[in-house]
Amino acid sequence: MSAGTGNTILVVDDSPTMRGMIVRALVAGGYQVVEASDGIEGLSRLQGDAEIQAILTDINMPRMDGVAFIRAVRQMERFARTPVLALTTEYEPDVKAAGKAAGATGWIVKPFAADQLCSVIGMVIRRMVGQNRAHPTPESQGA
């Protein structure tokens, strides 16, 4: 059984080519994927019924960039503890600092290796599940 079985990842990237590469890597790793072309569409996808276990977002996007998207995600109670990874060409310390301040869980610089991407996603999801068991929320307790 693949490591990602049953986990759904939201992929937010304005490049259809890059989104396609990310989706192929995640699907091959056993993940289900929901796609969005920018931060605005990403927030819309999060409003839906999909159970999202992790989010991958580009930083440089039109309409709403990745840092603003991460900040907005962290304001949504349902996704306040969901892992959010920036997958971007940005490597400048000030941009990374802005992403971290917004609430990014981690940073992966493009180009990426598919196995590395799936490994990191699996690790952050396992870490989140462990933290949720250690610190249950009213939602996870059925309240």
- Are 39 and 63 in contact by the 8 Å Cβ rule? The answer is yes
Q: Could you state, in order of their start, the residue ranges of all structural domains in the chain?
A: 8-134
The pTM for the full model equals: 0.86
Amino acid identity, position 53: Q
Alpha helices for 2-137 (secondary structure H): 16-28, 39-47, 66-74, 93-102, 114-134
In the CATH scheme, what is the code of domain 8-134?
3.40.50.2300
Question: Is-contact 29 56, C-beta < 8 A?
Answer: no
Residue type, 100: K
User: Would you state the pLDDT for residue 112?
Assistant: 86
- In angstroms, the CA 39 to CA 28 distance is 25
pLDDT, one tens digit for every residue, the chain (143 residues): 355 567 999 999 999 999 999 999 999 999 999 999 999 999 999 998 768 999 999 999 999 999 999 999 999 999 999 999 998 887 788 988 999 999 999 998 888 888 889 999 999 998 887 765 555 544 444 44
